[in-house]
Chain A
Amino acid sequence: NSKVIQTPRYLVKGQGQKAKMRCIPEKGHPVVFWYQQNKNNEFKFLINFQNQEVLQQIDMTEKRFSAECPSNSPCSLEIQSSEAGDSALYLCASSLSTVNNQAPLFGEGTRLSVL
């Protein structure tokens, strides 16, 4: 029933390959987040956007990922050169604002396996 749509659900890549995943936020939500959830259930914030602008990102994202949220197109997150340690569930979430009186709504995730 999630209204944040993530594709693909599963992604398998070899080391060194690019890995791209997409997210369509809930209609009317200008704020989009990407999180990485590893096999130990640990969450790592990667990046967030408000409309098309990056609000905040971690070093790893800046160095190894390419992310955008163009207007009228799905948001995307792409690993430029996949590593085994990138194997994880990538969750996209959207929200009405950065003021969290409305909880972010999460998609079902893209599960990436890097062989």
Chain B
Amino acid sequence: AQSVTQLGSHVSVSEGALVLLRCNYSSSVPPYLFWYVQYPNQGLQLLLKYTTGATLVKGINGFEAEFKKSETSFHLTKPSAHMSDAAEYFCAVSMIKAAGNKLTFGGGTRVLVKP
């Protein structure tokens, strides 16, 4: 069975500073990897995903993530935080050979952006 660990349930950054959210997964085989964002009182929106190919993935709103197989990690970064980035972020995996896209999520990291 796969699992996802997000280090840090809360992260506080200053506007304009680097955003770094950590995600590690545990799986017998490399899975597909996703980052979702959840704004207050809303559902989840896909930021980016890794399936195959280039390990550095660019997503929406200036976010990117790098898949490192040797470290079983998929950390999310953004060079310069905006106030609008304040939200909760979830890392998720799904298994390549599984039928359907059943997602296993981490516990989430809430980002606070200080002016």
Q: Do A and B come from the same complex?
A: no
